[in-house]
Structure 1
Amino acid sequence: MPAQVLSLLIATGFVVGWSSGFVGGRLASELDTPVLSLFAWRFLLAALVVALWCRLALGALPKAREMGREMLVGSLTMGGYLLGVILAIDLGVSVGVTALIAALQPLLAAALAGRWLGERLSVHGWLGMGLATLGVALCVGDDMQRTLSASGWAYLLPLLSVVSVTLGSLLAVRGKPALPLPAALLAQLLAAGGIFLLAALVAGGGQLRPPGVEPAVLMAMGWLVVLSSLGGYGFFVASLRRLGVTQTAALVHLTPGVTLLWAAAMFGERLGPAGLAGLALAGAGASLAIRSARRSDPTRRDPGARHAPRTWSTDESPDAAHKAPSPASPY
């Protein structure tokens, strides 16, 4: 498959899968099962599916001592990120405000990636990030109309989520990936499942409530496991490895608009003029930031650049990967 086509598929899959998590959260919020318990079962079931994938694709499950780094990544990008978001919403922080705070993640990722990974943005790149963030603010602005009732400290939770997913993203791309994609995803899902299992047990007084078998519960679980966990986080890991932190973070700007379009189709929620303008602005800003990141990709200037985000597949040698041109996002 041509490199540009593969990059396009990974980028598209990431945006669609990442957006599905917000829709899945909406489905889960309408159920009687406590959301922490539901998310614990979500990650554990997703880990079981990926374990079967590992057996079929790799012939064996990864050893426990090999999964330490990826479990740390998963505890940050999955467990810490989602736990902070869910707790903030549960404490009364508006979904829109939470999404707006989460939209700071690409800016933080771009700033830290420049220092730690050499993925530096030009002035045009920062302009694109700024425009995309403004577009996201317009997209979620309608959700901020209701009176907020959360305590002041609750607004720190989504900010901690931003820090958590950014640090996990940086850790995921430093150096050569230790595990193939299925094994890495399994380790990350197990870590996230452990975090939510502990949180659910604490919130439930030591009891984990099993999910029911009602159609609505099965639909929400299937959505969260297949689309959000396997799709969203699977493409997230693949995007980090192929496109790097900065381009993956820029793609995050597209997810609020896609989520709003999805919500309009599934729940009848219509976009207003501000939402439509924000959707267009976020798309334009993200595209500008991605193009800038591609032009400033350190692997294009120096194949031996330290901590370059370029990685290689299991059937490609490191030498061949460094001789080949760095894959470019066609966005």
Structure 2
Amino acid sequence: MPNRIVSLMIAAGFVVCWSSGFVGGRLATEADMPVLALFVWRFLLAALVVGAWWYLTFRRPVSGSEVRYEMLIGSLTMGGYLLGVILALEFGVSAGIAALITALQPLLAAAVAGPLLGERLGRRGWTGMTLALIGVALCVGDDLGGERGAPAWAYALPLLSVASVTLGSLLSVRRAATLPLPVALLAQLIAATGIFLVAALLDGGGKLPPPKPEPLTLAALAWLVVLSSLGGYGFFVASLRRFGVTLTSSLVHLTPGVTLLWAAIMFGERPGTAGMTGMVLAGAGALLAICGVRRSDPTRRGPDARHVPRTWSTGESRGAAHRAPSPQTPY
């Protein structure tokens, strides 16, 4: 198969599977069981799959301190991040708006953490970020009057998710990861399971209901485990190794539009004129800001400058993350 077609398939697979997490979360809110409990089982099943992968391929001793550090990162980049998103969806925020808000994380990371790690947004980057934030504000204003009737404070929950994943990303770049990929991913999934288990027990009065054998619940579980957990992460790794982190980060900004399309087809969530205008404005601003980050002068970076943190929770070593050709650095 020609390399161009393979690249296109990887890029499309990554955008679709990354978007599936928001759609799967929205699907989970309609299942006949508490959504937080369903996510406990989602992470537990994914951990069992990855655990089997580790057992069959990487059975050797690992560092306990590295595992604990990876669990700390996973509790922020998986647990805290997704908990805020799921609660926002449960309180009525539409899937497309939640995806749009969280897709701003690379820009916020570049603005907040960038100066600490050797990258700065130029004038074009700040202009793009301003446009993106105005676009998000328009979308949120349009969604406030939507059919699901989310309260205004619920739109702060995806912002808390952004803060959580940014903090986890900052921790992830403080030292190079040495754990094999399945071990690191397993540690992060276990941590996320623990976060959602505590939330589910608090929400359910100390009880964790098992998954009900009914079609919608089973479909939501299969969607979240196969598409969101394994598909999203697998295509992320494939995209990272083929394109490098800069282009992969740019693909994230395509996910809100895909999420919006899925939500419109599956749940009838269609934004109004102001929402569509805001979506276009936010996408254009995000792309402009990414161009501003790409054009930052690498010669001004100190020899010990670190990369701006990434959106995703990964277990690969820093060297593996940048093995693919990528002349610039992302978030």
Assess same fold via TM > 0.5.
yes
Matched AA of 1:232: G
After superposition, the CA RMSD in angstroms is 4.1
Q: Map 1:206-285 to 2 at 5 A.
A: 206-233=206-233, 242-243=244-245, 248=249, 251-270=251-270, 272-285=272-285
Unaligned runs of 5+ in 2: none
Q: Map 1:1-331 to 2 at 5 A.
A: 12-60=12-60, 62=62, 64-90=64-90, 92=91, 94-95=93-94, 102=102, 105-139=105-139, 141-146=141-146, 150=151, 157-233=157-233, 242-243=244-245, 248=249, 251-270=251-270, 272-296=272-296, 298=298, 304-308=303-307, 326=326
CA spacing shift, 1:118–1:76, aligned 2, 3 Å: same
Q: 2:307·2:329 contact (CA, 8 Å) conserved in 1?
A: no
Q: How many residues end up aligned between the 2 structures?
A: 321
CA spacing shift, 1:270–1:292, aligned 2, 3 Å: same
111-120 vs 62-71, which moves further: 62-71
Q: Deviation string for 1:172-216 (max 9, x for gaps)?
A: 233322223332222111110111112212222222111012222
Cα offset, 1:264, TM superposition: 2.7
Cα offset, 1:236, TM superposition: 5.7
Q: 1:117·1:174 contact (CA, 8 Å) conserved in 2?
A: no
Q: 1:243·1:327 contact (CA, 8 Å) conserved in 2?
A: no
TM-score normalised to structure 1 length: 0.77
Q: 1:254·1:282 contact (CA, 8 Å) conserved in 2?
A: no
CA spacing shift, 1:276–1:36, aligned 2, 3 Å: same
CA spacing shift, 1:188–1:54, aligned 2, 3 Å: same
220-229 vs 180-189, which moves further: 180-189
Cα offset, 1:34, TM superposition: 0.6
CA spacing shift, 1:68–1:54, aligned 2, 3 Å: same
TM-score normalised to structure 2 length: 0.77
19-28 vs 132-141, which moves further: 132-141
CA spacing shift, 1:317–1:27, aligned 2, 3 Å: closer
74-83 vs 2-11, which moves further: 2-11
Task: Determine the C-alpha separation between the residues in 2 that align with 1:58 and 1:2.
Answer: 32
Cα offset, 1:12, TM superposition: 4.9
CA spacing shift, 1:164–1:2, aligned 2, 3 Å: farther
Matched AA of 2:245: L
Task: Determine the C-alpha separation between the residues in 2 that align with 1:158 and 1:283.
Answer: 17
Task: Determine the C-alpha separation between the residues in 2 that align with 1:315 and 1:81.
Answer: 22
Q: 2:74·2:192 contact (CA, 8 Å) conserved in 1?
A: yes
CA spacing shift, 1:124–1:31, aligned 2, 3 Å: same
Cα offset, 1:288, TM superposition: 2.4
SS in 2 for 1:254: helix
Matched AA of 1:307: R
27-36 vs 111-120, which moves further: 111-120
Q: 2:253·2:283 contact (CA, 8 Å) conserved in 1?
A: yes
Task: Determine the C-alpha separation between the residues in 2 that align with 1:279 and 1:140.
Answer: 10
Cα offset, 1:301, TM superposition: 6.2
Matched AA of 1:263: A
Cα offset, 1:239, TM superposition: 7.2
CA spacing shift, 1:119–1:151, aligned 2, 3 Å: closer
Q: 1:100·1:140 contact (CA, 8 Å) conserved in 2?
A: no
Unaligned runs of 5+ in 1: none
Task: Determine the C-alpha separation between the residues in 1 that align with 2:248 and 2:123.
Answer: 15
